[in-house]
Structure 1
Amino acid sequence: MIEILNEGNFDEKVLQSSGNVLVEFFATWCPHCQRMMPIINEVADRVQGQAVVYQVDVDKSPDLAQTYAPNGFPSFALFVNGQLAETLVGEQTEERLLALVA
């Protein structure tokens, strides 16, 4: 199960982390996000030990969504040593997300 972050723990878990952190910004009502659920869960399982995967519910954390996912959902943000390195918007393949984190 992927931990869902919010404004209260995002800085500590993502911005103050070392290594690679992939964050998916999603909405429960978004059909594209729903289709991504099994894929992001598989990616999280496959990158254990190399990277950490978190999710942010944009309806519960609108400020984070506005900052890191202004172009739509789902959005995938890769942070390297606490710095935003790359963002992908829209549905992605498992291979593309694995390549992003690698």
Structure 2
Amino acid sequence: MPRSPHAADHVAALTTIWREVLRNDHLDATADLFENGGTSLHVLQIVGRIYDTLGVEVRPRHVFLHASPQDLTAFLVEDPASERPAGRRSDDDRTHSRPRR
């Protein structure tokens, strides 16, 4: 459940994104992306739309781990470091990056 007006705005925006990407107007804030036909391609579309709509960089793994608008918002609210402008990386991102081959 959103704890702030900012979180409520995020839930509403993410729910709209889920509905548009999955082409299903009946989805709500608790709709699981993958239980509703989502694929990895949809995840990439969602990541792009989140940036376009909210100006927030969300990594694909965040969407995989938090597959509903409500869960993803809770993650963003609990971990403000994950909610940063695009192009900025945290120490956490560098730690979990795969080594280059």
Greater helix share, structure number: 2
Q: Which has the higher contact order (CA 8 A, sep 6+)?
A: 1
Q: Identify whether the pair has TM-score above 0.5, normalized to the shorter chain.
A: no
TM norm structure 2: 0.28
- TM-score w.r.t. length of structure 1: 0.28
